[in-house]
Structure 1
Amino acid sequence: MASQLPTVKIKFLDEFKELFNESWRNIVFYGGRGSGKSKHVGLALILRGRQKRLRILCTREIQNTISDSVHKLLRDIIEENGFIDYEVTDKIIRNKVTGTEFLFAGLRHNVNEIKSMEGIDIAWVEEAQSISEASLKVLAPTIRKEGSQLIFTFNRFAELDPVYVRYVMKKPAHTYSAQVNYDVLDRAGLFPETLRMEMEEDRKDPGLFAHVWLGEPVDQADNSIISRRAALDAMNRVVDDEGAIQVGVDVARMGDDRTVFKKRKGLKLVDSASYTHLRTTEVCDKLELFVAHDKNVLIKIDDTGVGGGVTDELILRGYWVMPINFGSMSSEPDKYPNLISEMWFYLASIMPTIDLPMNDGLLGELTSRLWKMDTKGRRAIESKQDYKKRGNRSPDEADALILAFYEANIAVDEVTEDDYDDLEFEGLLDRDF
């Protein structure tokens, strides 16, 4: 049947190519406005529906009328590309050659109708941040045809939107998820100028900008170490680069962790680099290039775990290295149980003075790390293990940044065995800081 269809040349961005991968059970795209996620999902489904017969349910939490759905978006895609093999009515969209059907229904008020639907191949949930936990529990087992897929698109609203918790944080098997923002279209030269004007206006309100354009949730946990506004202010601030160059290095330990370099000059972050799956000597080679072989640059390395090997090798090569153990004793042990806690709060204290580049990944890492009081009344950062249990990836960007801005007058004495025993008793021991 596909050979009978008119041929159309389509521009489809690589960031959304997984929409054609039928091996995924769940496909999730979340992020800010102007990322092209809804249009690319709609286009992918239209194209897939031209190749074979599919039954596609387009749904959201509440759909009172067809105008509340993605019906118009799909119709516009069909008209813009001249897909004459599709017929569009006010209720359904159908391909006349393959027999593909698009159906439209809201979840909350149509539970029984959706439960009775048979043979759904793909369910696309738009505005999925509004989906309740109850609706998710109904939807997933309802779409049960062999090889069927669930596709979710949304802009986060709260820290713990049910769809975000279930499909991004917990990430069940056979799930693909990706955050996409306006820069996806911008890099491709497809970001509309009308949207750019709106975006630039929204920059005046950093919190609004972060939510609308960077896909950050509206609220933030009360016990976050660094506020979103403070981080965004730093990313919108311009300071001169007067001062010495210093480099922070967070070395990857395993899996998908990244080795990250951050270079600052004075109070301005001026360069960054990120790598995966590098051997110790390769990390050192990359670092030499990163500092332009300047042996007068202070390089501060997370010396725990595999970072110790990088420290040793760079010292052998004649570089000025400061090894830092995040689990070391704080210089103010009455305030912080370990050095990593002190370093995070130190970064928070200088946030009003530093200049950072706009980076949504770094923004997320800086503003999502939590703290609590220990039993001695000290401020303790949550362990990396607990941070990752909440669905976050390793905060390698943030750790490299705090190393770059770390001041050498903070003590780095090693924690004694007695100190470790005390921390373990209080539930704070985690050598993977």
Structure 2
Amino acid sequence: MTALQSSRNVQVEYIDRLGVLLAKPKRLKILVGGRASTKSTFVADYVLSRVSTGESWCCAREYQNSIEDSVHGMLQDEIERLALPGFWPKRNEIDHEYGGHIFYRGLARNIASLKGIRTHGLWIEEGEATSSRSLTTLTASLRVSALEQQKAELAGSEIQIPEMWITMNRGSAKDAIAQRFLKRAERDLTKYGYYEDDYMIVIEVNYDENPWFMGSGLESERLDDLKTMTSAEYEHKWLGQYLDTVPNAIIETDWFDACIDAHKKLGFDPTGAEVVAHDPNDGGEDDAALAYRHGVVFLDVQAKEESCLVNEACHWALDYAIDNRVEQFIWDADGVGAGLREQIDTKISGRNMYAHAFYGGRGVDRENEKYVPMDSEAEKKSKTNKDTFYNRRAQYYWNLRTRCLKTYLAVTQKTYINPDELISFSSDIKQIDVLRAELCRIPRVSNPLGKIQIMSKEQMAQLDPPIDSPNMADSVMMSFAYQPPRQKKARRAQLSAKNFYRDQL
């Protein structure tokens, strides 16, 4: 087989694979992958072909401040490249002589205008940024009207269900589209590059499957990225993988991955205290969460996603702690958690469980103890915890960072480190992908006094794009704020017993 024949076979296989999207009627069709996979060009050509038959299509993305942010330019380029007749590109829309029409929308600010939208199809570009609110509104609004159904029945014609196409690279595993649609498809996408159910088709394509890639001029850029980018950045850009990291993140994705089942990889069993930590929901769309660890091994981390009151979520976490007979329950007592003390004390009264309130915004624990840095920081002048950390939240997140880094070194470099200084996440944790996304998206911020400071939840929410509240990550972090039961309570009980026996004499 000649190189030319091989290239043609690759082209045919590539086109046939994408052709499945055209051949099978589905409500939702998703093309996912990295740069230079021609996802958008493929869908642009499909949209133009449908519009040339008189159909109306909406091209949208979550954030569109101007027409320059849309796919309008790409569609015009394809009309020119393919010399397509009958199209009339205008400044903000494209018409066709047979009545077809293309218009554009930004979803974040105009989602209400798309309720009950009358169109034959919807294409969402950069779908990874689409919010849960937008997805819910669109999937409910893009439908066949009662009038259209009646007309089709009277004419004896088949009803055409409006299609929704999404082109995207993966963002974070915690993104709305990842949780709602991609999560169920990931196993098949890894094995076959294809997933299908009654509702949707998902196809994954990347630059290495694009038969026209070598002629695109991007190979030198890819090779440079391979040398200069982190593995996570490269795999996101070119292979369409999740990018569960942000600038200045304190925990790297490679570290987290090494921590999955680290106790099995390194051959140690869970020993020590059993602890449940609970992060209450702060209202709105915020989730409550809990983390359950035995020693340094996290057996479960989960979020209570259903909307509920703070006290209801606390009961959920307490019931979990009681069922697992843990010895300590830790909760975030800043903000709404400040009012949970009475509920917690009442719930665990008479049980062999100690409750500890965590105040992340307060001063550090053991403030006058010397901070012991990692070996790479050993040359720095020794400082106390008080001089090192901005607050208790920063102190315990940095402790978590150190555990993850030590575990990464132990697993990847076969370096012996005391297991008590490590951390392990069981692969049985159902929401481990969300936990990864949260823990690897905790940024450090600069501090005028040079202390280690972690970005607050309020600051994360104001970023563009925003970072959701890391409730599961906070629960993991808080769980290491373990405090032995206060001896003074036991002493008080002991004195009461002595007084009782004395009174009986």
Please indicate the TM-score interval, normalised by the length of the shorter structure: 0.5 to 0.7
Read off the aligned partner of 1:242 and give its amino acid letter: T
The whole-number CA distance in structure 2 between the counterparts of 1:294 and 1:65 is 51
Paired residue for 2:372?
none
2:346 aligned residue (316, 330, 333): 316
2:270 is equivalent to residue 241 of structure 1: yes
Alignment of 1:59-70 (within 5 A): 68-70=41-43
Residue 380 of structure 1 deviates from its aligned partner by 1.0
2:292 is equivalent to residue 256 of structure 1: no
Change beyond 3 A, Cα 1:326–1:241? same
CA deviations 1:161-195 (Å, max 9, x no partner) are xxx4xx559989967852247541368xx668445
Paired residue for 2:185?
185
CA deviations 1:78-117 (Å, max 9, x no partner) are xxxxxxxxxxxxx835899xx6478999844726965451
CA contact (8 A) 1:228 1:363 kept: yes
Q: Which has the higher helix share?
A: 2
CA deviations 1:237-271 (Å, max 9, x no partner) are 34432232111100011111111111011111112
Percent identical across equivalent pairs?
16
1:226 aligned residue (228, 251, 265): 251
Change beyond 3 A, Cα 1:195–1:326? same
Paired residue for 1:92?
49
Change beyond 3 A, Cα 1:40–1:374? farther
2:392 is equivalent to residue 339 of structure 1: yes
Residue 387 of structure 1 deviates from its aligned partner by 0.5
CA contact (8 A) 2:44 2:75 kept: no
- The farther-off stretch of 147-156 and 62-71 is 62-71
Residue 397 of structure 1 deviates from its aligned partner by 1.1
Change beyond 3 A, Cα 1:225–1:380? same
Alignment of 1:101-116 (within 5 A): 107-108=73-74, 110=76, 114-115=89-90
The whole-number CA distance in structure 1 between the counterparts of 2:183 and 2:39 is 31
CA contact (8 A) 2:51 2:102 kept: no
Paired residue for 1:399?
474
Structure 2: unaligned runs, 5 residues or longer: 1-17, 60-70, 81-87, 140-175, 195-203, 205-229, 366-384, 408-421, 485-505
Larger Rg, first or second structure (1 or 2): 2
The whole-number CA distance in structure 1 between the counterparts of 2:399 and 2:240 is 26
The whole-number CA distance in structure 1 between the counterparts of 2:295 and 2:339 is 28
Residue 41 of structure 1 deviates from its aligned partner by 8.5
Paired residue for 1:291?
321
CA contact (8 A) 1:258 1:396 kept: yes
Read off the aligned partner of 2:123 and give its amino acid letter: I
Give runs of ≥4 in structure 1 deviating > 6 Å: 38-44, 60-67, 101-106, 119-125, 169-176
CA deviations 1:220-246 (Å, max 9, x no partner) are 544111112112221363443223211
1:216 aligned residue (224, 239, 242): 242
The whole-number CA distance in structure 2 between the counterparts of 1:401 and 1:270 is 11
2:423 aligned residue (343, 348, 354): 354
TM-score by length of 1: 0.56
Change beyond 3 A, Cα 1:361–1:301? same
Residue 306 of structure 1 aligns to a residue in which SS?
helix
CA contact (8 A) 1:242 1:266 kept: yes
The whole-number CA distance in structure 2 between the counterparts of 1:367 and 1:224 is 6
Residue 321 of structure 1 aligns to a residue in which SS?
strand
CA contact (8 A) 1:247 1:262 kept: yes
Structure 1: unaligned runs, 5 residues or longer: 1-37, 50-57, 76-90, 126-132, 157-163, 200-204, 410-433
1:151 aligned residue (123, 137, 159): 123
Change beyond 3 A, Cα 1:151–1:223? same
TM-score by length of 2: 0.49
2:94 aligned residue (99, 104, 117): 117
The whole-number CA distance in structure 1 between the counterparts of 2:479 and 2:310 is 20
Change beyond 3 A, Cα 1:290–1:370? same
